[in-house]
A and B are shown apart, each in its own frame.
Chain A
Amino acid sequence: MTPEDRAAGSPALPALFRIDGQVVLVTGAGRGIGAEIALQLARAGGELVLVSRTASELREVAARIESEGGRAHVRVCDVTDSARVRAVIEDLPCLDVVVNNAGNNIPEPFVEVSEAHLDALLDLNTRAVFVVAQAAVRKMLRHPDRAARGGTVINISSQMGHVGSPNRTVYCMTKHAVEGLTRAMAVELAPRGIRVNSIGPTFVDTPLVRRIVDTPEKSRFILSNIPAGRLASVTEVAAAAVYLASPAAAMVTGTCLRVDGGWTAQ
C-alpha cells in the first residue's frame, strides 16, 4: 500500500463522508482524542492545522499524518492565551472546519473545589472554547463564498454535558455550557452556512482518563454505568467527527452526537 492509498483512509470512505480540500484546525491535537480526530480528518482529505502547547507531540502527530500522504501544520499555542490563539487563527490562509477539543477535568467533591480549579476549568473548557470558536467563525466568514462552501464547528463536549455525576460539578457545568454555546451558535450561524455541533462521548480510553480513573472502584463505577460494557475508543469519537464534518451531515446542526455506549439513555 502506498502512502497515497493509506491517505485515502479506509478502502472506500464514501465520497459524501470525505472533506477533500478543506482546512481543519484541531485544538488539543497532540494526544488522545484530538490526535486521533486530526488523523482521521486528514485521512478523509482535510489539510490539518494542529494546535496544542506541546511542540514535540504536535510534530509526532504531523509526522504520522504526512507519512500517510496527508498535510499537517503545527501551531504551538496555549488556547487559554486568547490574544495568541486569535492571532494563530487569523493568520491562517483559510479555515473550513474547527474542532474545539482542548479540555480538562479535575474530579473532586463539590465542597472541596478550590477557586483555582474552578477558574482553570472555566478558562479552558468554556472560555477558550468560546474564543476559539469565535475566532474561527470570524475567519470563516471572511471567505467570500462561505455560504456555498459551508463551514463547520465541532465542539468536543461530553456525556457530562447532559447529565450529572459525582465529583463532576465543575466539569458538568462547563460541558453543559458548551452544549448551550453549540445550540446558540448553530441557530445564529445557520443562515451564514456554518454548521455547529458537539460530540458527547462517554469515558474514552485516553491518557487523561487513565490518569483520572486510577482505582478499581472508579473503574467499576464507570463500566457499570456504560450499557455497552466498555470505554469508547478515540477511533469511535474521531469517526463521529468525520461524519459531522462531512457533506453527509449537511442538515445536521445545533445537536450533540453522543458516543456514550448508552450512558445517558438510562
Chain B
Amino acid sequence: MLSPGAASGFRLDGRTALVTGAGSGTGRAIALELARAGARVVLVARTRASLEEAAAAIEAAGGRALVRRCDVTDTQALHALLAEVAPLHIFVNNAGTNIPRGFTEVTDADLDTLLGLNLRACFLAGQAAAAGMLRHGVAGVILNVTSQMGHVGAPERTAYCMTKHGLEGLTKAMAVELAPRGIRVNSIAPTFVDTPLIRRIAVEPRVRDALVARIPLGRMASEREVALAAVYLCSGAAAMVTGTSLLVDGGWTAQ
C-alpha cells in the first residue's frame, strides 16, 4: 500500500535522490531543485567535469551533492553505485538522447543508440533502483523523464517516439506492480525544453520558430519548470500519484 501524503508537501528533507544525466540540461536542473527541496542528491553522468559544476551550483544554493561518474548503460557499474549510495529514496531516470532523422534514413546504429539509452538503460536502471528500495524497505519514488513524444507522433521522431512511448509503458507497468510494495513510479513528459540538446537540434531560427508555433503557450518549457514537476512528483504531496505521466507541454498534446 502507498503511505498517505504528508501535509508538509513539496519538501524532500531527509531523502537521498539519484539523478542520471545530471551534468547538463534538464537533469542538472532536476538535481538542483530536488536539492533545494531538501534532498541529498547523487549526480550521475559520464563526464566528471560537468558534474562537478552542477554539484558546485547545488552547494552554492545551500544543498548537498555527491558526484559519481558512471555510464548508465554499464549495468554492473550502476549496481555498484546504487549499493554505495543506498538507501536511495528517489531515482530519476533522466539520461536520454534524440537523433532526429527521417524514418527511412534511420540507421541501425541510430536505432541501437536510442533503444540502448532511452529504453534498455532506463529499464535496467529502474530495475536496479527498485531492487535496492525493496531490499532496504524504502517507500521510494522512481521518476522517468519521458517526453510529449511519449504521447504523440512527430516527423523525424520515429525512433524517439517509439522509445519514449516505451518508457511510458514501462512507467505504468512498474507502477502497477510496485504499488503494493510502497514504491511510486511516474513520468514527466515535457514539450521542447530550452536545453543544450534542443539548441543543437534546433540551430536554425526557422526550425525553432516552427517548434514554438506548435506550443499553445507560445514558448519552450524551461529546465526549471520540468524540475519543479519532479519536486512535486517526488514529494509527499503526490503520495497518491503513481503510474501517470505529468505533461509539462504548454498544451502541445491537448490539440
Contacts and interface: CB of A to CB of B under 8 A. Distances in A.
Nearest to A188: B216
A212 B180 CA distance: 25
Interface stretch (A66-74, A110-118, A137-145, A238-246): A238-246
Given A230-B1, A235-B7, A190 B242 contact: no
A16 B225 CA distance: 10
A255 B244 contact: no
A111 B91 CA distance: 48
Given A13-B10, A190-B216, A191-B218, A261 B242 contact: yes
A135 B18 CA distance: 45
A228 B2 contact: yes
Q: Dominant SS at the B interface?
A: loop
Contact of A10 (B7, B238, B247): B7
Contact of B232 (A11, A202, A243, A260): A243
Contact of A251 (B36, B217, B241, B242): B217
Given A229-B179, A233-B240, A236-B239, A10 B8 contact: yes
Contact of A264 (B244, B246, B249): B244
Interface in B15-74: 36-37
Given A227-B176, A227-B180, 17 more contacts: A183-B255, A184-B254, A187-B254, A227-B175, A227-B242, A227-B243, A230-B2, A235-B7, A236-B4, A251-B190, A251-B221, A251-B250, A253-B216, A253-B251, A254-B247, A255-B253, A265-B172
A190 B218 contact: yes
Given A10-B7, A10-B9, A190 B2 contact: no
A87 interface: no
Contacts of A252: 225, 229, 246-249
Interface residues of B, number: 48
B243 A10 contact: no
Q: Dominant SS at the A interface?
A: mixed
B5 A228 contact: no
Given A13-B10, A243-B232, A260 B244 contact: yes
B211 interface: no
A16 B222 CA distance: 14
B8 A259 contact: no
A264 B243 contact: yes
Contacts of A3: none
Contacts of B218: 190-191
A240 B243 contact: no
Contacts of A14: 10-11, 36-37, 231
Max chain B CB contacts within 10 Å: which of A17, A250, A260, A265?
A265
A266 B240 contact: no
A266 B250 CA distance: 27
Contacts of A264: 243-244
B228 A253 contact: no
Contacts of B172: 262, 265-266
Given A10-B7, A239-B237, A251-B250, A16 B228 contact: yes
Contact of B255 (A11, A187, A233, A261): A187
Contacts of B250: 190, 251, 253
A190 B255 CA distance: 11
B94 interface: no
Interface string A210-251: 000000000000000001111011011001101100001111
Interface in B69-106: none
A248 B2 CA distance: 25
A186 interface: yes
Nearest to A17: B10
A41 interface: no
Given A14-B37, A187-B255, A229-B2, A251 B248 contact: yes
Contacts of A191: 216, 218
Contact of B251 (A10, A187, A235, A249): A187
Contacts of A250: 225
Contact of A259 (B7, B216, B241): B241
Contact of B191 (A16, A202, A251): A251
A251 B7 CA distance: 25
Contacts of A17: 10, 228, 232
A251 B249 contact: yes
A264 to B, nearest CB: 7
Contacts of B219: 251
Contact of A12 (B11, B231, B254): B11
